[in-house]
């Protein structure tokens, strides 16, 4: 954090520093939970692509989902799947901000009032399948291209006629 402090939003740098981790390793969940204890939040591992409904249930309970996996060096700049580094650096620090935390809970609770449509579920499954293929580097580029087209088509359909669940999900 110190190295990039001048480039970061000052509050974000402070929040990140509260996690008290070193450059040599990612912190363990109990350490993160200790740091977050005063906020009323905790973190819990999830496996890859969880459904939005599951994510909202966790967030509504002030439990932030953190992916169990860590991106490979090949994907250091962009991970095709949810990963621990993204969650810990990109989301968890903001839980120290009371306004953000309250907003996250409010959005999650509102989202739980709606059910995902069939199209929402299909798009989730297609994204999960595509990310798994890319993470495994299967080499079957034809299958990857087919999967990318499926995601693109489902996304276009969802954007044209979004369900109430999809509309509120886009807020996150």
Encode pLDDT of 144-163 as tens digits.
999 999 999 999 999 999 99
Residue range 1-28: mean pLDDT, rounded: 78
Q: How confident is the model at residue 1 (pLDDT cuts 50, 70, 90)?
A: low
| Residue 96 contacts residue 151 (beta carbons within 8 Å) | no
Find the farthest-apart pair of alpha carbons in the chain and give their distance in angstroms, rounded.
50
Average pLDDT, the chain: 88
User: What pLDDT digit, counting tens, does each position of 69-117 carry?
Assistant: 877 777 767 777 778 888 888 899 999 999 999 999 999 999 999 999 9
Instruction: List, in order, residues 6 or more apart from 125 with CB less than 8 Å away.
Output: none
pTM: 0.83
Radius of gyration of the chain (CA): 17
* Predicted confidence (pLDDT) at residue 60 exceeds the cutoff of 90: yes
Non-local (6+) Cβ contacts of 15 within 8 A are: 93, 94, 95, 96, 97
Lowest-pLDDT range of 17-21, 23-27, 36-40? 23-27
Instruction: Give the pLDDT confidence score for residue 69 in this predicted structure.
Output: 81
Output 39 or 9, whichever has higher pLDDT. Answer: 39
Task: Select the more confidently predicted residue: 161 or 19.
Answer: 161
Question: Cα separation of 165 and 153, whole Å?
Answer: 19
CA distance linking residue 24 with residue 8, whole number of Å? 20
């Amino acid at each position: 954090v110190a190295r990039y402090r001048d480039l970061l939003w000052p509050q974000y740098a402070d929040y990140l520093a509260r996690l008290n981790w070193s450059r040599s390793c990612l912190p363990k969940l109990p350490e993160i939970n200790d740091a977050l204890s005063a906020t009323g939040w905790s973190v819990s591992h999830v496996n890859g692509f969880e459904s939005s409904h599951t994510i909202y249930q966790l967030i509504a309970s002030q439990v932030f989902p953190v992916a169990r996996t860590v991106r490979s060096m090949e994907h250091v700049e962009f991970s095709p799947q949810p990963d621990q580094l993204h969650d810990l650096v990109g989301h968890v620090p903001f839980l120290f901000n009371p306004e953000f935390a309250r907003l996250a809970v409010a959005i999650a609770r509102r989202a739980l009032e709606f059910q995902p449509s069939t199209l929402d579920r299909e798009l989730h499954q297609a994204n999960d399948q595509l990310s798994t293929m890319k993470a495994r580097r299967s080499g079957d580029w034809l299958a990857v291209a087919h999967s990318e087209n499926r995601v693109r088509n489902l996304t276009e359909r969802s954007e044209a006629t979004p369900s109430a669940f999809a509309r509120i999900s886009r807020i996150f």
